[in-house]
Amino acid sequence: MSLILPKRTLSRRHLLQISGLSGLGLLLGGCGTSLLSNQVGQATEPLNQAIESLLLSQRPVPEYPVSAIEPDKLLINTFDQTPQLDPTKFQLAIAGEVANPMQLSLTDLQKLAFTSMIIQHVCVEGWAAIVQWGGVRLQDIAALVQPKSNARYVYFKSADGYYESWDLPRRSIPKP
């Protein structure tokens, strides 16, 4: 028994539709070309920001009582090479679109107001634990370096190579 499939032809209209969508995909995908990338980025950035605002609304993280701490669930950095930092040589470098770029030593950081809170940490490695965290608030450091009005993002890089970025409009980081 053989199955006979109907012969399908591709109309010129359908071909043009597919070509247009493929061309748009190439233009927006940007793989291997930067042709019009600035214009496309400027045109789509407001839409990206609006969608991100809807999806990632920033509310203060819930705090927990001391009794909720889960020390057995906390995993310390599971990377192969956990860096050993010399506290006497440590420097937090802050540069870029700020009025006062600076480097803060561990002693400098210890002179700033210390904040402690018990929150749930959800790690990118897939684990989560309620733990007590402490340190200097990013707002306090931002007040020292004073981000410029055109600054839109903050980029963080840790000693072990982990990095993250935040957009300033949705974070509680003061801008002039």
pLDDT digit string (tens) for 20-64? 666 656 555 555 556 666 776 677 777 777 776 666 666 677 899
Q: How many CB atoms lie within 10 A of CB 154?
A: 19
Question: How confident is the model at residue 57, as a pLDDT?
Answer: 62
Instruction: Band the pLDDT of 174: cuts 50, 70, 90.
Output: low
Residue 134 and residue 116: Cα distance in Å, rounded?
Answer: 4
**Dihedrals phi, psi of 74, to nearest 5 degrees:** -75, 120
Residue 69 and residue 74: Cα distance in Å, rounded?
Answer: 10
Could you state, in order of their start, the residue ranges of all structural domains in the chain?
12-55, 66-170
Helix or strand run (H / E) with residue 93? strand 91-94
Which position has the higher pLDDT, 1 or 114?
114
Straight-line distance from the first to the last Cα atom of the chain, in angstroms, rounded to the nearest whole number: 77
**45, two tokens:** 């950035």
Q: How far is CA 72 from the centre of its chain?
A: 28
Most confident of 8-12, 44-48, 125-129: 125-129
Which position has the higher pLDDT, 8 or 115?
115
**pLDDT at residue 6 greater than cutoff 70:** no
**pLDDT at residue 145 greater than cutoff 50:** yes
Find residue 120's DSSP bridge partners: 130
- Could you please state the CATH topology (level 3) that the domain comprising 66-170 is classified under: Sulfite Oxidase; Chain A, domain 2 (3.90.420)
User: Mean pLDDT throughout 2-14?
Assistant: 64
Smallest Cα–Cα separation from 149: which of 96, 94, 98?
A: 98
Residue 27 and residue 139: Cα distance in Å, rounded?
Answer: 39
